[in-house]
Amino acid sequence: MAWLTLIIDTDASHAESLSDALMERGALSVDLLDADADTPDEQAIFGEPGEPPPGVWQHNRVSALFDNDVDVTEVLSAAALSVGLAQLPEHRIETLADNDWVRLTQSQFEPIPISGHLWIVPTWHTPSDPTAINIVLDPGLAFGTGSHPTTRLCLRWLDNNLKGGESVLDYGCGSGILAIAALKLGAARAVGVDVDTQAVTASRDNAVANKVENVEFYLPNNAPKDSYDLVVANILTNPLRMLAPLLANATRQGGQIVLSGILESQAKDVMSIYEQWFDLNAPIFEDGWSCLSGLKR
């Protein structure tokens, strides 16, 4: 059986109401995504401590799934009219072929070598090198599977620079991968913080699967107000700008910071902010993304 996928680009004022209208008219599912994802205009929509949640993205991509016998154009016309759109928004309709979705999803995630002795291994795979440090991880709702350049950049930094015995704060922990990797590489304790409750849950589950101890995961308002030997934050440029004082305060004097989720073109801007507190190293780049690191004065 095949399905039809309706993909619509719309603004913030209509994205959620249009999504609801499509569901009311028979959509099997509706996803709402940032139309500017992986561009300099990518926008974080989760609120940070002390800030109101910004809501939805400014430029939205609505993706709705329908049975293949549905007149999708007619459904879109009715949905658009119901939310006050005089004209149909920009859209396209694609055919989604039937597949074994579990097998297809699993085929997209192979073991990922981070270094000669550090691997990310999906749970359905046997480790390629049983003697290596293998982080067992399932792709899920939280960011951080090791497949994105920013995660790999942070993991390589940890592999190359951890000496053992450090305390680590992973701010924006996602799947918990960086906190878990730090512990497996010799850190003494780790704390992960994320604004997304699903990320906190995923991180706790992944820590159990990897049999690591001395790690805790929190929502921001519940996190301990400690200082750490190492603070790592793999999020996005705008949150990193806003969180600079918080992350600097969480890093002990003489401690280190690692920042990623930054496009190469944005690295100098972020560095200019963090140079208030840190002596920064030359940035490291991969596939258009940056990793910054430095020592707190």
pLDDT, greater one: 280 or 65: 280
Q: What is the pLDDT of residue 50?
A: 45
> Residue 262 and residue 258: Cα distance in Å, rounded?
11
Asked if pLDDT for residue 68 goes beyond 60, the answer is: yes
CB atoms within 10 A of CB 82: 15
CB atoms within 10 A of CB 289: 23
What's the half-sphere exposure (Cβ side, CA atoms, 13 Å) at 118?
21
Domains and CATH numbers, the chain: 3-98 (3.30.70.120), 150-296 (3.40.50.150)
pLDDT tens, position by position, 119-164: 888 777 777 778 889 988 865 544 556 678 899 999 999 999 999 9
106 burial level (CB within 10 Å; 0-12, 13-18, 19+): middle
Q: What is the pLDDT of residue 53?
A: 43
Three-state SS across 206-234? Answer: HHHHCCCCCEEEECHHHCCCCCEEEEEEE
Q: What is the pLDDT of residue 142?
A: 47
Q: What is the pLDDT of residue 71?
A: 94
Residue in the block written with tokens 């016309």? 77
